Amino acid sequence: MRDFKKTTCAAYKTFELPRETAARGRREQRAAAARAAAAPAAAPDPAVSVAPAAAAATPPPPAKSTSRKEKTLNLNTYKFHAMGDYPSTIPLFGPTDIYSSHTRSWGFDTSQPLIRGKNAMYQ
């Protein structure tokens, strides 16, 4: 997997989706609003004079990044961690593409009673 990431993934530039960029922008806006609300704007005390150098020393707020970030293959996920267990799991449970977690995936209708024969309904 590391060779795949080093050779194949390096040949392609991948970026986050537009919806991910928009979600990141909304998160940054909420965080900035929360920071602004947490730091109440105190009225200047006339007894304390603020030096112009001290006022200029405060850093400006960080610029909002609206550009799409580059994304790379993340090998530090559970999917890649568990990949070594797949070969031993297949003989026990079968391949992972033959079952579904959907409750009605096999076509059983729970509103009808279970029938023991094809003509049991008419007996």
In a domain, 23, yes or no: yes
Domain, as residue range, for 16: 1-37+71-83
Query: How confident is the model over 23-41, as pLDDT tens digits?
Result: 999 999 999 999 999 887 6
Closest to 5 in 3D by CA, of 63, 74, 68, 69: 74
Q: Is 15 helix (H, G, I), strand (E, B) or coil?
A: strand
Q: What span, in angstroms and rounded, lies between the C-alpha atoms of 49 and 52?
A: 9
This prediction has a pTM of 0.47
Overall number of domains in the chain? 1
In a domain, 120, yes or no: no
Query: How confident is the model over 39-95, as pLDDT tens digits?
Result: 876 556 666 555 555 555 555 555 555 689 999 999 999 988 988 888 898 888 888
Residues 71, 72, 74: CA angle, nearest 5 degrees: 120
